[in-house]
Amino acid sequence: MAQALHAAGYTITEVAGRHRRRAEALARKVGSQAATPETARWDSDVVWIAVSDDAIAGCAAELAKARSWKGVTVLHSAGALASDVLRPLKRRGAAVASLHPMMSFVAGRQTDLRDVWFAVEGDAAAVRVALSFVKAVGGRTLKIAKDKKALYHAFGAMVSPLIVSQLRAAEGVAAEAGIRARDAQQIMHPIVERTIANYFAAGAQAAFSGPMLRGDVKTIEKHLRSLRGDEAEVYRTLARYAVKKLKVGRKRELEKLLR
């Protein structure tokens, strides 16, 4: 986000972090100064807290001791937490909000934020600042209620890291079938891309295919007999959900088989 805002013309005055080398590396990219939490000046108009979720409350409590925060906007980017976690700073005069991008971020890869959705909630003044940031990087906004943040973030977990978890389980099944991991990934690539494309083009039911749709109960039974361990549990759980939520052939027989 710092790099995207820098590219959009914002001035990043300081990058403060416990890991000095990481802070220095990011500061160089955005034409800024690196600091530790102890040496930082904290004199920007906006301070964005980007620590792990469990550390935000403690970080806010410590920062509240550093100065008066009147007139300052403080944001955090945790998907599951509301702006209330920044209460110590609000008591010291800050306007606070949460701004979470619904996007996957992995080490070593810069992510394009255009058309990415950002969930926002908090004080009106802080929300206005957050919305201006989203507009600057070409994103889109979703206003979310404080008490729905955990559900919103669970939604995000299901559409990215848990999909990766499912693909990893598929690799495990491929390995049992004698297919090497790198070959399994190449085999999965076109079918996964097509399935996702079909889903976004026409919805879940139209993208659903295979033996469950056809009601090939004996085929599903063969799958269950051949699968073992964690992969068997993943398969059975997903199959049960499919039978409940999607149109399948010979529904009652499949329900009985998957008990």
Where in the chain are the domains?
A: 42-147, 159-257
Tens of pLDDT, residues 170-202 = 999 999 999 999 999 999 999 999 999 999 999
Predicted confidence (pLDDT) at residue 162 exceeds the cutoff of 90: yes
Average pLDDT over residues 13-26: 95
Measure Cα distances from 185 to 120, 158, 196 in Å.
36, 20, 16
Measure Cα distances from 213 to 82, 95, 231 in Å.
41, 52, 21
What pLDDT score does 236 carry? 98
Spatial distance between the Cα atoms of 36 and 16, rounded to a whole number of angstroms:
5
Whether the CB-CB separation of 70 and 93 falls below 8 Å is answered with yes
Q: Which among 62, 115, 114, 112 is positioned nearest to 86, based on CA atoms?
A: 62
Predicted confidence (pLDDT) at residue 168 exceeds the cutoff of 90: yes
Tens of pLDDT, residues 204-245 = 999 999 999 999 999 999 999 999 999 999 999 999 999 999
Whether the CB-CB separation of 118 and 132 falls below 8 Å is answered with no
Q: Which among 7, 29, 111, 4 is positioned nearest to 15, based on CA atoms?
A: 29
The partner residues of 120 in beta bridges, in order of sequence, read 99, 143
Measure Cα distances from 184 to 25, 97, 131, 171, 232 in Å.
36, 43, 42, 6, 18
Torsion (CA) 243, 249, 250, 251 in degrees, nearest 10? 20
Q: List strand residue ranges (DSSP E) for the chain, in order.
A: 14-16, 33-35, 46-49, 73-76, 95-101, 117-122, 140-143
Predicted confidence (pLDDT) at residue 33 exceeds the cutoff of 90: yes
Spatial distance between the Cα atoms of 252 and 255, rounded to a whole number of angstroms:
5
What pLDDT score does 108 carry? 81
Tens of pLDDT, residues 81-110 = 999 999 999 999 999 999 999 999 988 888
Spatial distance between the Cα atoms of 164 and 169, rounded to a whole number of angstroms:
9
What pLDDT score does 143 carry? 96
Average pLDDT over residues 147-160: 98
What pLDDT score does 107 carry? 84
CATH superfamily of the 42-147 domain: NAD(P)-binding Rossmann-like Domain (3.40.50.720)
Torsion (CA) 1, 111, 127, 16 in degrees, nearest 10? -20
Token pair, residue 245, equals 């939520």
Q: pLDDT band at 22, cuts 50/70/90?
A: very high
Question: Whole-number mean pLDDT of the chain?
Answer: 97
Whether the CB-CB separation of 78 and 101 falls below 8 Å is answered with no
